[in-house]
Amino acid sequence: MRIARATTAGAIALATITMAACSTDADEGPDTSADPTPASAEPTPTESADLTGQTVTVVTHDSFAVPDEVLAAFEDETGLTVEFAAPGDAGALVNQLILTKDAPIGDVVYGVDTTFASRAIDEGVFADYTSTAPAAADAAQYAIAGSSALTAIDYSDVCLNYDIAWFEESGLDVPQSIGALSDPQYNGLLSVTNPATSSPGLAFLLATVAELGDDWTSYWEALRENQVRVTASWSDTYFVDFSVPNYGGDYPLVLSYASSPPSEVIDGEPTSAALLDTCFRQVEYAGVLEGAENPAAGQAVVDWMLSDEFQANLPDNMYVYPVSSSVDVPEAWAEFAPLADDPITMDPAQISANRDDYIAEWTSIVID
């Protein structure tokens, strides 16, 4: 699910941005007023189980990234050998987990997000596990109601991004809401991703439903009249279509993330910004697979992903915010990547009950 869904060329461009670390402002992250110390003082699986010589398979989306030295330190600490399987993006990942739930393709999963979490839980893909890692208390605020199968690892806001210079030169006002995009003055300016194939695309569709209620279908009809462009993937919309200097596409409004603009800072000046009133809060989870061959090792991976070492590397490597309140994020994020004060959300139960219908109706309006 995000800026981490980069092509190789995009990753190179992102790597040119130097980001020094500092803490976020209090209003930029989640509520961290809870005591960060878990109620239980029981040892984590990493501390209590002898995993030496064992192998753990981590199933994840195809943009998972962690520094080699962070992974090596975990393997040295636990004695585990970590292998990875990446069947595709978040949607493809969940589909594969469901298809193989009777013969799991790994031990633990990372990358199931808000838009698909309830579906995976309903299908019985995950085993219950409650981590006792220090950051577990921070993660608990994002728990799926009625389930202890998934542990929140990171979060981000899916938002529309705009090309600052393009709007300054055109004389058009920057749209300030989702609804404003149906205005004819924005004809041919917006590129989004298909919710049937893209996690951010689904997040944006859900945002329109949450914001507009029963009027969401007429809204998409208006966007189609406004020649909205729809791509199959976030990388196509962002790296190919976006008109900012780094990419030079034809669309000054694109679907991306609140954490994207720091990557478009040139000579200290931002070239893009996120429209924070269009943001849908997206959380990524990890979970141990039901029927896993090595569930203890899978639990150790969940604990590792809540460790300071793993959490601190999330912004620079996967361009998401860590759930832990004890680690820092890049300085540029505090300046150029503020989160929405009041992000759009939807109850996971509503998503689970209506996801397929929303996608089918959207497809009939926009694609067919």
Q: Is the pLDDT of residue 18 over 90?
A: no
Please give the full DSSP string across 321-347, using - where no structure is assigned. EES-TTS-EEHHHHHH-PPPSS-B---
Q: How far is residue 3's CA from residue 17's CA, in Å, rounded to a whole number?
A: 13
Q: Domain 42-156+282-336 has what CATH class?
A: alpha beta
Position 195 scores a pLDDT of 93
| CB burial string 7-20: b at 16+ within 10 A, e below | eeebeebbeeeebe
> What SS3 state is found at 279?
strand
Percent of the chain whose predicted confidence (pLDDT) is above 70 = 87
For the whole model, what pTM was predicted? 0.79
* Average pLDDT of span 261-283: 96
Cα Rg for the chain, rounded, in angstroms?
20
Neighbour-count burial of 24, counting CB atoms closer than 10 A to its CB (0-12 exposed, 13-18 middle, 19+ buried): buried
Position 246 scores a pLDDT of 97
Name the nearest CA neighbour of 238 among 207, 195, 201: 201
Orientation angle between helical segments 348-366 and 114-122, nearest 10 degrees: 110
How does pLDDT run across 149-197, given as a tens digit for each residue?
Answer: 999 999 999 999 999 999 999 999 999 999 999 999 999 999 999 998 8
Position 44 scores a pLDDT of 52
How does pLDDT run across 64-99, given as a tens digit for each residue?
Answer: 899 999 999 999 999 999 999 988 777 778 888 999
How does pLDDT run across 321-353, given as a tens digit for each residue?
Answer: 999 999 988 888 989 999 999 999 998 889 989
Alpha helices in the chain (DSSP H): 8-15, 45-48, 68-78, 90-99, 114-122, 136-140, 164-170, 199-212, 216-225, 234-235, 295-305, 308-312, 314-318, 331-336, 348-366
Domain boundary assignment for the chain: 42-156+282-336, 158-280+342-366
Task: Please determine whether the domains at 42-156+282-336 and 158-280+342-366 fall in the same fold group of CATH.
Answer: yes
Helix/strand/coil (H, E, C) string of 217-274? HHHHHHHHHCCCEEECCHHHHHHHHECCCCCCCCECEEEEECCCHHHHEECCEECEEE
Position 47 scores a pLDDT of 55
Position 48 scores a pLDDT of 56
Q: Is the pLDDT of residue 297 over 90?
A: yes
pLDDT mean across residues, the chain: 87
Name the nearest CA neighbour of 322 among 7, 16, 8, 28: 28
- Find tokens 């189980």 and name the residue: 49
Position 334 scores a pLDDT of 85
CB atoms within 10 A of CB 125: 22
Q: Is the pLDDT of residue 117 over 60?
A: yes
How does pLDDT run across 193-232, given as a tens digit for each residue?
Answer: 999 888 899 999 999 999 999 999 999 999 999 999 999 9
* Average pLDDT of span 306-332: 93
Q: Domain 158-280+342-366 has what CATH class?
A: alpha beta
